């Protein structure tokens, strides 16, 4: 399915660029691990192209073209593109899922800010839950309840990322915290950019964001038992390793401005052990009724796409996607780099 040389390249990309996923991926069966590495490598490439490039608008437009080529079966001559095209064909990957990711990257290129927690979840659905839904497709899981819980996990992981990177983002003039939380605390975004400090109010906001992430981590666990047995330990490991970042932020007294939360190898090993124990529980314990919880409103379109209910973006979202691409194209043609 995937050329071995392309797969080796994808494996190297993840080994150096996504330590947490690389550790968890070792616990997945080869039938899931190999396409998952290809998927994450393509997503990592997309994220890096937008995050590190001088012209973010052009980067998103180029990625849209690469996505078009992958879905036409004529990918760009790059290992990540060829590997991604292979999994699109093999697993019948609904196009709405990678397009959602691309939309989130377009929002980054446009320097969008998010007024409410719901808007932050909208962003998280695109840049993280879309990947979780694609992982379910790679496991050939199309059950709506399992997909909803996978999307919970994606949002939780992205909220953890945001909480960890508050200072780093501010120094780059980026903000992903709900701006209404900042307004309620009397914090001006521009003043915070000019002088990022781990004030009591900022620490409180980080704590609240991690509390929301924790709620979703707990909800996500109910869906892991619906995944193939051999894949459950790997997904539990991803959940616990990533939540270890939340624990590190808490140990730093919620200061993610002057300190960056990190997890040790010993911590990862301990959490992998916990993942193995929890996997046994999915076999011997009754199914949790939490699996039937309604999907978050912000991720429902992903659940619809992955479960074949609506494999394309809904018309309103498709129109919004077209508008965003048109805006980016206009910026690019006028020589305005969305940085």
- The domains of the chain are located at 4-333
The 3-state DSSP class for residue 295 equals coil
Mean pLDDT of 303-324: 78
Q: How confident is the model at residue 312 (pLDDT cuts 50, 70, 90)?
A: low
Q: How many Cβ atoms from other residues are within 10 Å of residue 335's Cβ?
A: 7
Residue 335: the pLDDT is 65
| pLDDT(284) > 50 | yes
Tell me how far apart the alpha carbons of residues 17 and 45 are, in angstroms, rounded to a whole number. Answer: 10
Nearest to 268 by CA among 47, 20, 12, 29: 20
User: Do 104 and 130 touch, CB atoms closer than 8 A?
Assistant: yes
Q: How confident is the model at residue 311 (pLDDT cuts 50, 70, 90)?
A: low
> What is the rounded average pLDDT for all residues in the chain?
91
Tell me how far apart the alpha carbons of residues 132 and 147 are, in angstroms, rounded to a whole number. Answer: 8
Mean pLDDT of 51-60: 81
106-131 confidence digits (pLDDT tens): 999 899 999 999 999 999 999 999 99
Q: Scanning the structure block, which residue is given the tokens 């965003």?
A: 324
Mean pLDDT of 165-187: 97
| pLDDT(337) > 60 | no
Tell me how far apart the alpha carbons of residues 274 and 244 are, in angstroms, rounded to a whole number. Answer: 12
CATH class of 4-333: mainly alpha
Q: When comparing pLDDT for 9 and 327, which is higher?
A: 9
């Amino acid at each position: 399915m995937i050329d071995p040389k392309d797969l080796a390249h994808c494996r190297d990309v993840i080994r150096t660029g996504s330590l947490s996923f690389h550790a968890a991926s070792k616990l997945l069966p080869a039938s899931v691990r190999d396409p998952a590495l290809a998927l994450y490598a393509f997503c990592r490439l997309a994220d890096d192209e937008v995050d590190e490039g001088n012209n973010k608008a052009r980067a998103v437009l180029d990625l849209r073209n690469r996505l078009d080529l992958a879905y036409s079966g004529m990918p760009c001559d790059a290992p990540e593109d060829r590997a991604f095209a292979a999994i699109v064909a093999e697993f019948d990957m609904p196009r709405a899922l990678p397009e959602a990711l691309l939309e989130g990257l377009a929002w980054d290129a446009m320097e969008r800010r998010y007024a409410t927690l719901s808007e932050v979840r909208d962003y998280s659905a695109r840049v993280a839950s879309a990947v979780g839904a694609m992982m379910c497709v790679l496991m050939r899981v199309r059950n709506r309840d399992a997909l909803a819980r996978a999307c919970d996990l994606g949002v939780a992981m992205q909220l953890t990322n945001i909480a960890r990177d508050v200072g780093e983002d501010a120094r780059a003039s980026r903000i992903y915290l709900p701006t209404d939380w900042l307004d309620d605390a009397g914090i001006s975004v521009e003043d915070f950019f000019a002088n990022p400090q781990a004030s009591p109010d900022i620490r409180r906001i980080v704590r609240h964001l991690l509390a929301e992430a924790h709620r979703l981590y707990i909800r996500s666990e109910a869906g892991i038992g619906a995944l193939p047995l051999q894949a459950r330990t790997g997904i539990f490991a991803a959940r616990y390793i990533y939540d270890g970042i939340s624990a590190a932020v808490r140990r730093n007294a919620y200061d993610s401005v002057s300190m960056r939360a990190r997890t040790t190898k010993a911590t990862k090993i301990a959490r992998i052990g916990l993942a193995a124990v929890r996997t046994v529980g999915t076999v011997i314990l009754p199914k949790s009724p939490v699996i039937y919880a309604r999907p978050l409103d912000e991720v429902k379109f992903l659940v619809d796409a992955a479960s074949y209910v609506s494999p394309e973006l809904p018309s309103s979202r498709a129109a919004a996607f077209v508008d965003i691409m048109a805006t980016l194209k206009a910026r690019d043609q006028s020589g305005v780099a969305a940085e």
